[in-house]
Amino acid sequence: MNGPAVAAIYSFEMARTFRTIVQSIVSPVLTTSLYFVVFGSAIGARMTEIDGVPYGAFIVPGLIMLSVLTESISNSSLGIYFPKFTGTIYEILSAPISAVEIVMGFVGAAATKSLMIGVIILATAALFVPLHIEHPVWMVVFLLLMSIGFSLFGFILGVWADGFEKLSFVPVLIITPLTFLGGSFYSIDMLPPFWHTVTLFNPVVYIISLFRWSFFGTSDVSVGVSLAMTLSFIAACLAFITWIFKTGYKLKS
Amino acid sequence: MIHMPSIISVADLSKTYKSGLSALSGINLEIERGEIFALLGPNGAGKTTLINIICGIVTPSGGKVTADGHDIITDYRAARTKIGLVPQELTTSAFETVWATVSFSRGLFGKPANPAIIEKILKDLSLWDKRDSKIRQLSGGMKRRVLIAKALAHEPTILFLDEPTAGVDVELRRDMWNMVRKLREAGVTIILTTHYIDEAEEMADRIGVINKGQIILVEEKASLMRKLGRKQLSLQLHDKLESVPDALASYKLELAPSGLELTYTYDAQAESRIPNLLTAISGAGIVFKDLHTSQSSLEDIFVNLVSNRA
Ligand SMILES: Nc1ncnc2c1ncn2[C@@H]1O[C@H](COP(=O)(O)OP(=O)(O)OP(=O)(O)O)[C@@H](O)[C@H]1O
Ligand SMILES: [Mg+2]
């Protein structure tokens, strides 16, 4: 185990985060506040409650996940894409480090940042609505799992991407819609039967449902199924990353 | 003399890129411990490919490489810990400071932080004043020195320099040569590629020439110069000569169109014939007023080699 190497990559990536600290913190805080103004106050005034939870509070888990997913993906993908783009990846490839250690460094840093942002959004939300968290330990565990899982996914995206368009394509055109349609702002039980069934093919549904359960003790889909879906997503990412390094796919010629 | 095992051993190495281009084929090469080895070859010959394979950046298609006895694939950790690489391209991360990027390299290669060593490296490379500057604020030559500092940060025993002096001014070139010599004195084995033949001539203990993905020659520099170096003896004649006298035919002399210069081309083995030639020339009644000899440089040797195989 090459500990210093993991630490070096991790701190390099964290330094990148802290160079843009203002932007890193201001943008999620601002976005969250805007969502609360629009959804919480304007629409929430008419929606009152979902599953016995006031609408303002109901959207909090979805809002956190929305940011955590997009931040995990964009940070992690940029983290590995940038050295590929500038050519500095030569040093990582020539260093005595294993694939696992490289992933630990990059994904660890991206997940840390997502976690920080998740906590910041939670704190911002608490300013707007009274929050009671039913299962705080699970909440933290899930937040951690999602941060890591989607940072792994972002890592794959960063390795795969060979241009900046591809890098922004996936978050903007796939992840954001899936999150919006995944019940961030409503319960999928509110959908007509056909769309309800379609929605069940959206993996983000399970993630948000699971996370919301840790807040309010109620969920759209069963907790067991959600957990299984989330864990298999992470396992699939790990398997894919292993394959990437075994074959050198897009990292080595 | 006890033969030390080579520090780098390349056996039957080949590389075909995904595009189908065969960049290296059947490369066999032994690098001796503690030497400076210069790898010469025209653009696209495969120098960078060879170096990148040894350093772990490019995957070989076939063959085997060991560095200090460690297989570069099955035992990559031990092998790579010994190796430092200064790449051909100036690739640096722009926003970091010099100090941070060099420290990063040391960590990446598994060494615990050691500010004293980083300080020494930066001072040796005249980068100490720039330690807190962002890399993008540095000039090209300084960036190259930063890359060297990064490659040395983990105290490697084998150093690859892929065209270290491309785009570098004369003074910095001298500095770099001195640095390379100092490293060699400290026991570091150095493999460098260059297009400046005078650099190889000045620095290298041994020279390898690669062309179209094949090693076409590996020689001690001195013996290479002796064996392949052509020499020429020119005589400035006192009186105009119409043709070379028959008595001198065996020497294959060349007469300049002006009729005032005779040139004898010979290699190191034929040196002993010079006194006989001069005697024969006087015997033929030719009077010369001046003479001089010239020796081909490594550059001529190199151009000859590569164009013969083309
Ligand atoms: N990633 C790659 N994919 C496909 N072909 C490549 C790749 N890298 C190099 N080549 C080809 O392999 C051959 C050898 O290239 P290489 O960079 O090893 O040459 P070189 O001797 O270092 O040349 P130079 O003196 O210009 O640096 C060239 O024909 C080059 O076009
Ligand atoms: Mg090259």
The interface predicted TM-score of the complex, written ipTM, equals 0.84
C-beta neighbour count of B239 within 10 angstroms:
11
Contact call for B110 and A9, based on CB within 8 A: no
pLDDT digits (tens, 9 = 90+) for B158-208: 999 999 887 777 888 888 888 899 999 999 999 999 887 778 888 899 999
pLDDT of residue B310 exceeding 60, the answer is no
Instruction: Select the residue of A7, A87, A97 nearest B91 (Cβ to Cβ).
Output: A87
Q: Count CB-CB contacts under 10 A for residue B51.
A: 24
* B57 neighbourhood in chain A, CB within 8 Å: 90, 93-94, 252
With an 8 Å Cβ cutoff, are B108 and A90 in contact? Answer: no
What value does the mean pLDDT of chain A take?
A: 85
pLDDT tens profile B230-248: 778 888 988 888 888 888 8
Ligand 1, residue B21: give the atom nearest the CA: 5
Q: Are the CB atoms for B107 and A4 separated by under 8 Å?
A: yes
Contacts of B51 in chain A (CB under 8 A): none
CATH architecture classification, B8-226: 3-Layer(aba) Sandwich (3.40)
CATH of B231-296, one of 2.60.40, 3.30.70, 3.40.140, 1.10.3470: 3.30.70
Among chain B, residues having any CB pair with chain A shorter than 8 Å are: 17-18, 52, 55-59, 76-81, 83, 85, 87, 89, 91-96, 100, 103-113, 150
Atom of ligand 1 nearest to the CA of B50: 18
The answer to whether B51 and B193 are in contact (CB under 8 A) is yes
If one compares A174 and A41, the residue with the highest pLDDT of the two is A174
Per-residue pLDDT for B268 more than 70?
Answer: no
Average pLDDT over residues A130-140: 88
Indicate the residue of A12, A83, A96 with minimum beta-carbon distance to B110: A96
Residues of CATH 3.30.70 domain(s) within chain B? 231-296
Going from the Cα of B46 to the center of ligand 1, the distance in angstroms, rounded, reads 6
Mean pLDDT across chain B, nearest whole number?
87
Distance from CA of B254 to the nearest CA of A (A): 53
Share of chain B above pLDDT 90, in %: 48
Whether residue B2 is predicted with pLDDT greater than 70 in this model: the reply is: no
| Domain-wise residue ranges, chain A | 3-247
Is the pLDDT score of A188 beyond 80?
no
